Chain A
């Protein structure tokens, strides 16, 4: 156990990096696609709609395989880690899109009307009136997305990223202790998820409207 511990810690770090980077990418994509769906013209709206339905309609593992194994055929050569971050980011972005859009829609329509009546442009109204209120509604559901995302990072072991799951499988061969190896990986996942959950709760309290 002590012999493998450093490798597991290193792998836990890789998993955390994957989760953080892909979540940031996903948030960015989600914000762009949600804006496109809500405020964009027909072209942007359609692109965002197709993006969301394709990603949500296919398994994440297939998306990762297409990117990593299929990519080189069309000139996209990515190392496993980058493919993992980009693939997971694109995947969670589709779910973030719906979360962000839902939160924005949930802000009372009278808010936009009041802001526009005062002479604010749509963009100014969204920035100063709608988004600050939507952000508060977003924190909790985004926390749920992120929780799912951390667990989904296990999929990248299938494209040979040396994450927690990959590491556990690798040391089964030399230790003959699959039970312990997978329990150890599971515990480390849980530590990451618990810590993230605490951060989300803290954020949620901070942004609560007085």
Chain B
């Protein structure tokens, strides 16, 4: 399916903070249903790239496309706001620190946006919340508040909240980095299930084993460029670039040192 029209496309992305160039001319094509994992050291620009896809961190130069729509279209402020709000409904995002709304119950967290933006009724919204929670295995937590949930449960609710908008693509920004080790697996399982359902996913992660097991393609970023990319077996087993090898070796050592 490599010849198919890309579903998400980044063209020559550049991002500067003053004199600092954090993304240097990056291009990326993602097909429908594909799962891309982006790995690399801290400060390599991987989160910035991810956050450019829904224009949360606007690019300095370059284009982002979702199907036939340019996400970061140049428009007058007001028109742009209307445009981006519509586009973002199609791009789900999950954050490292969950960012659940603490003043709202799990149900309200999930139904807030669909109710406001899609004008669905209370009954439909309730059904949607129940459906999405079942999907992440938290049906019994529907009337809890975020503060009453564990980190893993919070992140699963955050995924359910994003999915409730029925996005075309899901972005994960180090979704398990803030979790206690024993809570990582339950979130990974939810993401794996999404992968099996052919959700298009772009995942920024520090977990090599997870990236290898779930992704179709791995991007290794360092210093604002994609150093190397390829299928997981190639990138992890037979990396071509020196920097990729170094990074993976460091990671292996760190994991070997970590208590089981």
A201–chain B nearest beta-carbon distance, Å: 20
From A84-92, A116-124, A162-170, A190-198, give the one contacting chain B: A116-124
Count A-side interface residues using an 8 Å CB cutoff.
21
A120–chain B nearest beta-carbon distance, Å: 6
B112 interface residue (CB < 8 Å to A):
yes
B153–chain A nearest beta-carbon distance, Å: 16
Q: B116–A124 contact, CB under 8 A? A: yes
When A117-B54, A120-B117, A210-B145 are in contact, do A129 and B85 touch as well, CB less than 8 Å? no
Choice from A110, A118, A122, A124 contacting B161 with Cβ under 8 Å: A118
Choice from A108, A116, A119 contacting B56 with Cβ under 8 Å: A116
> CA separation between A115 and B162, bound complex, in Å?
10
What 0/1 readout, one digit per residue, does chain A (28-51) give for beta carbons within 8 Å of chain B? 000000000000000000000000
B177 interface residue (CB < 8 Å to A):
no
CB contacts (< 8 Å) of B103 on chain A: these are: 132-133, 136, 209
Q: A128–B99 contact, CB under 8 A? A: no
From B10-18, B89-97, B122-130, give the one contacting chain A: B89-97
> CA separation between A136 and B92, bound complex, in Å?
29
Q: A118–B101 contact, CB under 8 A? A: no
Q: A114–B101 contact, CB under 8 A? A: yes
Q: A111–B99 contact, CB under 8 A? A: yes
In the complex formed, the residue of B with least CB distance to A109 is: B99
In the complex formed, the residue of A with least CB distance to B96 is: A110
A10 interface residue (CB < 8 Å to B):
no
CB contacts (< 8 Å) of B148 on chain A: these are: 210
Q: B85–A120 contact, CB under 8 A? A: yes
CB contacts (< 8 Å) of A180 on chain B: these are: none
B230 interface residue (CB < 8 Å to A):
no
CB contacts (< 8 Å) of B29 on chain A: these are: none
A-side binding surface: helix, strand, loop or mixed?
Answer: helix
Q: B102–A122 contact, CB under 8 A? A: no
Those of A100-151 within 8 Å (CB) of chain B: 108, 110-111, 113-122, 124, 128-129, 132-133, 136
Q: A113–B116 contact, CB under 8 A? A: no
> CA separation between A121 and B78, bound complex, in Å?
11
> CA separation between A210 and B143, bound complex, in Å?
12
> CA separation between A129 and B146, bound complex, in Å?
14
B241 interface residue (CB < 8 Å to A):
no
Q: B81–A110 contact, CB under 8 A? A: no
Q: A118–B165 contact, CB under 8 A? A: yes
B86 interface residue (CB < 8 Å to A):
yes
B51–chain A nearest beta-carbon distance, Å: 9
CB contacts (< 8 Å) of B89 on chain A: these are: 118-119
In the complex formed, the residue of A with least CB distance to B54 is: A117
B105–chain A nearest beta-carbon distance, Å: 9
Choice from A120, A122, A132 contacting B116 with Cβ under 8 Å: A120
Those of A151-210 within 8 Å (CB) of chain B: 209-210
B113 interface residue (CB < 8 Å to A):
yes
CB contacts (< 8 Å) of B88 on chain A: these are: 116-119
Choice from A113, A120, A124, A209 contacting B99 with Cβ under 8 Å: A113
What 0/1 readout, one digit per residue, does chain B (159-180) give for beta carbons within 8 Å of chain A? 0011001000000000000000
Please report A residues at the B interface, Cβ cutoff 8 Å: 108, 110-111, 113-122, 124, 128-129, 132-133, 136, 209-210
Please report B residues at the A interface, Cβ cutoff 8 Å: 54, 56, 81, 85-86, 88-89, 91-93, 95, 97, 99-103, 112-113, 116-117, 145, 147-148, 158, 161-162, 165
Q: A113-B95, A117-B88 are in contact. List 4 more A-B contacts (CB 8 A).
A: A114-B95, A116-B88, A117-B56, A132-B103
Top 3 nearest A-B pairs (CB, nearest first) are A114-B99, A119-B89, A118-B113
